[in-house]
Structure 1
């Protein structure tokens, strides 16, 4: 594999990475905490898997709708102001989750949280694309995606401990309190991000949205992201219920399981990020996808299993899942031009959230449970569906990679032509 030059990061770029990573940590933790609390919520509220699937997908669907509604405006404002606006809304929604007393209130609170939280990832991606070159984004995405692993290492175990000591509402109040502090730091330390305003041509938000959607290269990127999300979200909602009721691990072991899986993610992400800046991103994505498919089929077909073996399978599976996210995010970020980045990232995040909601809802219809303590049934079917979707994802990500290569060649030719003309003058 051909190695590429590593471009160093400046001090301010490292600060931006930290701020976006810790922001993503809270947003991901708010979503992630639903899965480990799944068994507790289903039993305390007497919920069927389908009802819990609705509670999980409510966030995703509202986040998707919000992203589509705001996409036309995403390139018309300072990205720092947009980030703060939606992050404050996310904080309010998370507080409401912690105050919910009934299933209806919980679903309503998840919808509010999704309306604001679902846009934060797209704004962060637009900031990353504005401030970092493609040759730096593998490393950047590696650190940003560490928020996923860190939420498992720190957030989920602490959240489960707090939920066990008090109740399931307490982890949401913990996340919201932490997010308030982060919002203050963003306000004080992050500089305005406004370079995109100078090249904005569309006069209306609707036309900007339409111009972004109608570009063929954008639609290919959107489809690749949607399929990637469906494959990634299908197993997640019922992960804790499957571990407890099928694999027969205890609640205490569940905390350790999430912690160990999270540590593995934190270790893997920077390595994969740096590797994807050196070699082909699409090849790394393909290898990681095949590995994930194998592990998903093995894991979803397990019965009662010794805890040490469950740990090993989880680490191996998470390696595949997380190693797909870094190169795919870096590749997709290179699809739009500067004037379309905010709208593209918003639509892309919307489809990602909607696809995740569809995945959670479909998984809720596939998976059944006879009683509160009985094993989940048909979880293996979820694994087989993920394999089919992942194969399609590899094909589409390859097309994205080809588009980016062609775009780079065209830009290089344009620069050479410009240099020749300037010399002739």
Structure 2
């Protein structure tokens, strides 16, 4: 198969990732505006994110068995249409239950879109370019945080809480039209390919190891990502008006490191990049252990950059685990693992942390847990790459020995 130019192909998927992530990220910052308009307590807004995640987990679980039977492009287009319509429908919400139902639907339709998109990246990109390709695709996350969320906050201030949802839905619609015209067609695995299911995937040792590595990485990150701002304000005394600068610098660092990390993965392999990235994550997470000689900005940038590099490296490395006929199912399964890991991390964080005298307590144990789990990521990744596991990171699974 003749490969299309990498920048053109990856651009569409990066834009799709941008819209998907922006839709997810913007709700919490918009929370006070949405809660006031729909007349529910702001502390209940977390249920909307939970509903979104539940929808994504449900659809991801269902998609494992069928997504590789369908061409990638129609799955992305129809999924994006339903995703955009669900986002648009949020502007008609009148109360919290309606909002929860619509956010569950948005997550449900969005999950398979991302799985098909990531599978398409692997379909259209040779292994030697996947680090660079994943870096460009995952740049959509950083751009959504750096540019998208602040823009949506300002739009909500000027035009009301519903305007951001309408704009994101419109962006999704424009992207659907553009991709229908210009995104290359990619084929499904075919009717004669072996059946793919959650069970058939998880019976393979490398797939289980890949899920473990991905789960550990997301669990470690989301133990502390949601509480960074509160910790900096209450425990480190960072002024409120400096938080914006903190996140802007951290986001820019993550964006740049994603591109550099992807480039390095293609040249020196994912293992070394993951080890270096884990070191940066550990330095950043050490802020939670107590007094540090490093300033908060440097600690935050180290964490954000290390986490970004680790995410790109793992995305490129784990893309080599599935065979071609199960790439979509594997991506859907990986998405389910990510969502469950984030949910468990949020639960653990809420159990460990408390507020006392306007300070967070339990931060030492939370930071220690995040560091310990982070250090386990390269260890399990090395086991996945070991010859006894079939060298599952060295290339597509069809070129490796049979079940390992």
TM-score of the aligned structures, taking structure 1 as reference length: 0.82
Q: Paired residue for 1:362, among 348, 351, 355? A: 348
Write the distance in 2 (CA, Å) between the matches of 1:119 and 1:64: 10
Partners of 1:314 and 1:40 lie apart in 2 by 28
How is 1:399-410 mapped onto 2 (pairs within 5 angstroms)?
399-402=383-386, 403=389, 405=391, 408=394
**CA-CA distance at 1:14 after TM superposition:** 1.7
Pair 1:285 & 2:274 matched:
yes
Distance 2:368 2:29 in 1: 23
* Counterparts of 2:270 and 2:190, CA distance in 1: 30
Equivalenced residues, count: 395
The within-5 A match list for 1:26-425 is: 26-37=19-30, 45-48=40-43, 51-194=44-187, 196-197=189-190, 200-202=193-195, 208-244=197-233, 253-298=242-287, 309-369=295-355, 374-402=358-386, 403=389, 405=391, 408=394
Normalising by structure 2, we get a TM-score of 0.86
In 1, distance between residues paired with 2:299 and 2:240? 18
* Conservation of the 8 A alpha-carbon contact between 2:288 and 2:363: no
Query: Matched residues in 2 for 1:255 and 1:366: separation?
Result: 27
> What do residues 30-68 of structure 1 show as CA deviations (whole Å, max 9, x unaligned)?
2222454467778985444xx454433332232112101
State the distance in 1 between where 2:96 and 2:359 align.
Answer: 23
Q: Is the 8 A contact 1:157 1:258 kept in 2?
A: no
Q: 1:265 to 1:350 in 2, by over 3 A?
A: same
Once residues 142 and 127 of structure 1 are traced to their aligned partners in structure 2, the CA distance between those partners, rounded to angstroms, is: 15
Stretches of structure 1 lacking an aligned partner (at least 5 in a row): 1-8, 415-425
CA 292–242 in structure 1, closer or farther in 2 if over 3 Å, else same: same
Distance 2:32 2:223 in 1: 16
**Structure 1 residues 61 and 141, CA, compared in 2 at 3 Å: closer, same or farther?**
same
- Residues 121 and 406 of structure 1, relative CA distance in 2, 3 Å threshold: closer
Contact 2:270–2:313 (CA<8 Å) still a contact in 1?
yes
- Report which structure shows greater RCO (CA 8 Å, sep ≥6): 1
Q: Alpha-carbon deviation of 1:394?
A: 2.2
Distance in structure 1 (CA, Å) of the matches to 2:169 and 2:229: 23
Give the 3 Å change call, closer, same or farther, for CA 244–312 of structure 1 in structure 2.
same
Question: In the TM superposition, what is the alpha-carbon distance from 1:163 to its structure 2 partner?
Answer: 3.4
Q: Alignment partner of 2:189: what SS?
A: helix
Residue 248 of structure 1 and its aligned partner are, at CA, apart by 5.5
CA-CA distance at 1:336 after TM superposition:
0.7
Higher mean displacement: 152-161 or 34-43 = 34-43
How many angstroms apart in 2 are the aligned matches of 1:290 and 1:18? 30
Q: Deviation of residue 147 (structure 1)? A: 0.9
Q: How many Å apart are 1:360 and its aligned residue?
A: 2.4
Q: Which moved more, 1:119-128 or 1:21-30?
A: 119-128
Question: Retained in 1: the 8 A contact 2:285–2:299?
Answer: no
Q: Which runs of 5+ in 2 are unaligned?
A: none
Q: Flag the 1:209–1:316 CA change in 2: closer, same or farther, 3 A.
A: closer
Contact 1:53 1:360 in 2 (8 A): no
Provide the rounded CA distance (Å) in 1 between the counterparts of 2:381 and 2:128. 18
**CA displacement at 1:239 relative to structure 2:** 4.1
Distance 1:228 1:259 in 2: 23
Deviation string for 1:155-211 (max 9, x for gaps)?
122122223445555433332222221111111111221162276233xxxx64432
